[in-house]
Amino acid sequence: MKLLQIWIETKEEDIKPRYDQAKILPAKNKFVVLASGGKEGLHINQDAKLSLGNFESGKSIDCKMKKGNGLFVFMIKGKTQVDQDVLGKRDSIGISGVDSVEIKAIQDSKILLIEVPMKE
């Protein structure tokens, strides 16, 4: 079993915990929302968004972020260039202070994105 445990602070304190699950299949060369505080994916109590994508070598995508948010890019497998940084399997990078970031697959890659509001 492989597990990735992710903790995201809720936007409200003292809320009732909840559990949910769904089978969500990632699409080729684009991101699919797994969970969010909006209407996409499973619901979480935060203005955050978790997305997963499988990208073929050579494919790229411009990831736009909500103003004031940061982005955490986690490489599940493959090799990818995030702006000027190259990430391999199990590497990650945090990005903030920009509106978008370009992600380009150097090898076939599986990528997890976590977009969260940044504290001031």
Q: Could you state, in order of their start, the residue ranges of all structural domains in the chain?
A: 31-117
- Alpha-carbon distance of 66 to 17, in angstroms, equals 26
Q: Which fold has domain 31-117?
A: Jelly Rolls (2.60.120)
CA distances from 92 to 40, 42, 87, 100, 112 (A): 24, 23, 7, 17, 9
What pLDDT is stored for residue 120 in this prediction? 63
Q: How confident is the model at residue 24 (pLDDT cuts 50, 70, 90)?
A: confident
Q: What is the mean pLDDT of residues 29-36?
A: 95
Per-residue pLDDT of 78-96, as tens digits, reads 999 999 999 999 999 999 9
β-strands 31-36, 42-43 pairing: parallel
